[in-house]
Structure 1
């Protein structure tokens, strides 16, 4: 939740709790103290204090994760630990303010709520508590995700660093695991009129830390042993087989303003890419002259980079044994993208034939998307008895290999013959659930 949670939170009639940064000595003492306390509160459950980045001179909070299926009792856990205040952080998460000296609060824990920032009407109290508190962040994690979460959230910015390393080569790191990101997902986001959710173009690979590190070429042994310095930590990351001079240079060229802003806010990430890697990879002032080039007028990714992305994708499918899952999900995604392209092609035909515009035109096109199916025998279109989901659209069957209408005349004739029936079915289905015509129907 961030180490300044209580400075940006309020509780009516109570002062703002002062949570200054902790010295290494205080941090170590509180980590040991509350590790033991949490194990007592959650008997039989694994409690882990997250690995911190090395060479820290002070600490903003202590982060704990607990392997359990239990629900979080905010007041119960705060009072058990002896906290003065508690902030809910969403499902299974909270921050507790406890006296920095390790004593117990003389009063029961008070609920604090986030103020919402400088522009919010609700502000933290101008009265600041004299006592110094330590912020303890606690997250309850389901057993099936515990191993991954403790890895993902370790060393402060490990998740952000791994994500930045693998993103431009076609992978995504999230709190659920490592995913292969289809090239077509990235391309579809640049196509006007095509809507694709990330989940549709992300293939789950693994949530096992050792397996993921093995694929990335990172040493699990070094990770477990820990790092004495940031240089050691950065060197471990740079040993990944996905960290090369070419990939680094192209990633910098692709660097978006959003990514640059993230790097400025998270100095650990910025220092790795801007300061450490150029030295580690022996890049001089002329390092832009590499085998992979992308001028300002060349779309991303350049051919060589795209080929490398395909190579890593193939290796991932083999390494994680995901070939069958990939083929099914990729086929589904491509059908959905192509069906949306077909929508764009038939929309002017529907508009011309029906005379409909804007919302009424969208209603008819939606009916085509949800109710037009194609015979398995002769690939002829027909109207389905029951509507299917948008993602199950079969309109792509009207396209040829170049994503153009295979027979414009035949499509026009079919639209002329069936658009009114499709419109009626779509309207009937929208009204049916409530039988209330005063309620505006919602898209499914």
Structure 2
């Protein structure tokens, strides 16, 4: 998006008159071939447009597009319908559409300027509706995202998610539990007016005030700005220093998000009255998500957290308690033999001296008693090393025996072959 796909063509930003006209023309063409055609609601206050974004779903039964199964062939056919002079295949299809000749106003020769169309072909009606919702109002979700993120809530191009705090710093993807892709439920959960969402805002300030209506929004007071963590938004120079990498990039590239941070939030602090969400906690939001989005969400959240904690615990038992409790000695091979034996006993349930070791057996939930495991390792590592060393020697003997037997079989086979060759060449 942004009108930068065609680096070899001139695709300048469009004034509203050109954008509105081209958008209507392209949508009219596409509606002849697709069941659903739409564009996200534009951000307020734009005086130029970088490209035209359109979503489509399902070719109409009578359209030639309904018979096409190849994306390159589909892009070529669409280029003909749209009058595009070039296209690029990617997650979206980018088309270069000639700039309306009567809109050049003598500044450049006709057909020397182009408009970038970004066409997204949705695989389902649900995806079509979600994309319209998620991309609405330009930077609005960037703004809302910076507000709700500290509460463990995330929205992306697939849906609404609850993040598990104990996991997210190490594996963000695994920390995300899907809540819903029903935009009505999402807006209800955030405390935002559903009717206003589907209407274009008259100004940036109107959109900012709408975002500030989120029930989790509140402005930190001056004496709270030094806090490194926690909820609440800051804005201004102090808030900019604490932005995540993605938000810092948005500050540089997205004027509306920059205005939210540098102008609107500091002004809110000066005017006061934005403390409605101050009492809301991350734990409260989590529990409300469990209640609103069903028992399955809580079950998945708790199961994933338990599995994560168990995997982390198992790794710690192995690296720190078992392996880490065997002393560092000069005989590295003996130490390795001891560690291997202890791993089999503790981690894999092998017997020790012919008997199971109950004190190093995990409980019903799979967790070990770390103190008991450590005591067992410290007490028995030498004997475990003797066992492991004996096993290693036995494996070596068996290996040598197998190697000798294989060599003997090969020699016998070669002897039989030589006898056969001699008989075949004998004149008698």
Is 1:248 aligned with 2:238? no
Q: Write out aligned runs for 1:347-386 (5 A).
A: 347-349=323-325, 352=328, 355=332, 372=348, 381=361
Change (3 A) 1:315 1:282: farther
Counterpart CA distance in 1 for 2:204 and 2:333 is 63
Change (3 A) 1:102 1:161: farther
1:161-218 deviations in whole A, cap 9, x for unaligned? 22222112211221111111111024xx3xxxxxx43232111111111111110111
1:131 pairs with one of 112, 117, 133: 112
SS of residue matched to 2:198: helix
SS of residue matched to 1:134: strand
Partner of 2:265: 277
Give the C-alpha shift of residue 82 in structure 1. Answer: 1.2
Change (3 A) 1:256 1:347: farther
Counterpart CA distance in 1 for 2:349 and 2:116 is 58
2:287 pairs with one of 311, 314, 318: 314
Partner of 2:254: 266
Partner of 1:409: 375
Partner of 1:336: 311
**Contact preservation (8 Å) 2:98, 2:111:** no
Partner of 1:123: none
Change (3 A) 1:102 1:234: farther
Give the C-alpha shift of residue 26 in structure 1. Answer: 1.0
1:181 pairs with one of 155, 163, 166: 163
Is 1:224 aligned with 2:204? no
Mark the structure with the bigger radius of gyration.
2
Is 1:152 aligned with 2:170? no
Is 1:23 aligned with 2:7? no
Counterpart CA distance in 2 for 1:129 and 1:185 is 57
Give the C-alpha shift of residue 237 in structure 1. Answer: 0.9
SS of residue matched to 2:112: strand
Change (3 A) 1:96 1:243: same
TM-score by length of 1: 0.66
Counterpart CA distance in 1 for 2:269 and 2:318 is 48
Is 1:239 aligned with 2:204? no
Is 1:209 aligned with 2:183? yes
1:197 pairs with one of 171, 191, 194: 171
> Unaligned stretches of 5+ in structure 1?
8-15, 104-127, 190-195, 293-303, 383-393, 423-444
Partner of 2:417: none
Counterpart CA distance in 1 for 2:119 and 2:301 is 36
**Contact preservation (8 Å) 1:317, 1:326:** no
Give the C-alpha shift of residue 373 in structure 1. Answer: 6.4
Give the C-alpha shift of residue 334 in structure 1. Answer: 2.0
SS of residue matched to 2:145: helix
Partner of 2:78: 77
TM-score by length of 2: 0.68
**Contact preservation (8 Å) 2:360, 2:373:** no
SS of residue matched to 2:93: strand
1:12-67 deviations in whole A, cap 9, x for unaligned? xxxx221111111111111111112122233xx21111211112111111101112
Partner of 1:3: 3
Give the C-alpha shift of residue 139 in structure 1. Answer: 0.7
Q: CA RMSD for the aligned pairs?
A: 4.2
Counterpart CA distance in 2 for 1:167 and 1:347 is 39
Change (3 A) 1:264 1:274: same
Counterpart CA distance in 1 for 2:323 and 2:250 is 40
**Contact preservation (8 Å) 1:157, 1:269:** yes
**Contact preservation (8 Å) 2:152, 2:165:** yes
